[in-house]
Structure formats: structure tokens, C-alpha cells
Amino acid sequence: MGRSLPGVSSLGVLDYYLMDASSLLPVLALGVQPGDTVLDLCAGPGGKTLALLLTGYCRHLAANDISGSRTQRLKQVLHSYVPRDRNQVRVTSQDGRKWGDLESSTYDRVLVDVPCTTDRHSVLEEDNNIFKRSRKTERQMLPMLQVQLLVAGLLATKPSGVAVYSTCTLSHLQNEYVVGRAIDILASQFQTDVQVEDLSCFRHLFQDTFSFFPSCRVGELVLPVLWANFGPMYFCRLRRLT
């Protein structure tokens, strides 16, 4: 049975957007409050940006992606799903690693949904697979890129503000290691203290929907299983203290 395409609502936008349900967890973990300024640092193709808008709480939302093609997809998603008079998103295509210099200590909430090995897509798709031999160097450099993006995202966060780091990989090297390394760099090079916040409540709230890995040192990890084929999705909430 084929999947039907979304129809157009009375507001002139499409009815629904299909995405992995676990992709909403980083947005929920961000805990956006009414009037917050929000940055989506690696926003393309736009699903999480759309979810942030749907909270109705963003006073201003900046959505950035370094990739030109992903930025175009992001713009297309916003055009298709958000009424023009309600679109308060500033879309940019900058190197996210520079955001700490571009807009230091600016945002109440920052989502850092970094490029990763995208495990599910890597298993299912041959085209542009990051495990291709030709992309070996790019793959090996991912953890360094992820650390740089998280550091930049936290520097763009206001003191007492919150950032959420997320990936769609099972890799410890791209998940917990990146969080720990970013915290160390912020403390030693930028005299900025960051605290990881407990997200174990998500395991209880969504225990009937998702399967969570029980032994994450920091953050939470959704595992794909037969009865709940979502993820993988890793997310960790960090509060900037200084």
C-alpha cells in the first residue's frame, strides 16, 4: 500500500510532516519556554526546526546549516509547512563552528543536532553512504567536527541557558565522548563551566514508546528494536553556568 502525500490545509500549508518519532526527543529535552530566543545550529533538512516552531514558544528562531543543499531543503520545508505571517525564522548557511564568535552568549536555547554517521541511513542506503571508502577521512574527522560544533553552540548560549546535543548514531565516540571533550575544552580554553542535566525522566515518560539504552554515562540513547523501530537517537542536555 503506497504512502499518500500530505494535503493542503485551510491555511495553505501541508497537513503533516513525516519524521522518526525519536527525532522529537531532543526538541522536548531543550525545554523551550515562552519568549525564548532559539538557535538550531545544524538545522537542515528542517524537521526539528519545524518542531521547535510548533511549540509556539520561540520569540525568535535562527536556523543554520553549512550545506547549501540542506539549507534549500530547510527553506522548502518552512515554505511548505509554515504560514508566511507566522514564519519568524532567520535562515542562514554559515559554518556552525564559528557561531561562538558570531553570536556569543546570545540564545536562551541552542539545539546542536550534528552531522554523524546516520546509522539507519547508512544501513539502508548505498548512495552517498558515509562508510564508502572515498569518505573515510570525512568519517574519521566526524568526532572532531562534532566537538567543535558543540563548543560553538554552548558559547552561543547565554549563561544559565540550555543546549541539547544530539545525533542519530549508536557510536559512543560520537555521543558521550563528544560531550565530555566539549566540556573539557570549554573549561580549559574558554573558562566556561557547563553542567550535564539529568534526562532519566524521559525513560519513564516514554517507556511504552521507545527502547532506551540503560547504561549511558551522560544523556539518553534510543535503540531501534522490533517492537519500537525508532532511532537510533542520542540526546544530552547541557546547561551553561558561566
Tens of pLDDT, residues 177-215: 999 999 999 999 999 999 999 999 999 999 999 999 999
Is 168 part of the annotated catalytic residue set?
A: yes
* Residue range of the domain that includes 180: 21-240
Tell me: pLDDT of 160 over 90: yes
Known binding-site residues equal 42-48, 65, 95, 113
pLDDT value of position 126: 76
Tell me: pLDDT of 112 over 60: yes
Tell me: pLDDT of 7 over 80: no
What residues contact 176, with CB distance under 8 A and at least 6 apart? 216, 217, 218, 219, 236
pLDDT value of position 87: 65
User: Is residue 4 in some structural domain?
Assistant: no
The fraction of the chain above a pLDDT of 90, given in percent, is: 81
User: Is residue 1 in some structural domain?
Assistant: no
pLDDT value of position 16: 87
Rounded mean pLDDT, 144-171: 99
User: Is residue 44 in some structural domain?
Assistant: yes
Known binding-site residues for S-adenosyl-L-methionine equal 42-48, 65, 95, 113
User: Is residue 6 in some structural domain?
Assistant: no
User: Is residue 195 in some structural domain?
Assistant: yes
How many CB atoms are closer than 10 A to CB 87?
Answer: 14
Rounded to an integer, what distance in angstroms lies between the CA atom of residue 201 and that of residue 225?
A: 20
User: Is residue 7 in some structural domain?
Assistant: no
Look at the chain and report how many structural domains it folds into.
1
Which CATH number does the domain housing residue 41 bear?
3.40.50.150
* Pick from 166, 64, 153, 147: nearest CA to 100: 153
The catalytic residue among 116, 168, 216, 236 is 168
User: Is residue 132 in some structural domain?
Assistant: yes
Q: Where are the alpha helices (DSSP H) in the chain?
A: 24-30, 47-54, 68-81, 99-102, 119-124, 136-140, 142-155, 176-190, 200-205
* Exposed e or buried b per residue across 42-77, where buried means at least 16 C-beta atoms within 10 angstroms of its C-beta: bbbbbbbbbbbbebebbeebbbbbbeeebbebbbeb
User: Is residue 209 in some structural domain?
Assistant: yes
* Exposed e or buried b per residue across 12-29, where buried means at least 16 C-beta atoms within 10 angstroms of its C-beta: ebbeeeeebebbbbbbbb
pLDDT value of position 121: 80
Rounded mean pLDDT, 46-61: 95
C-alpha cell at 22: 525519536
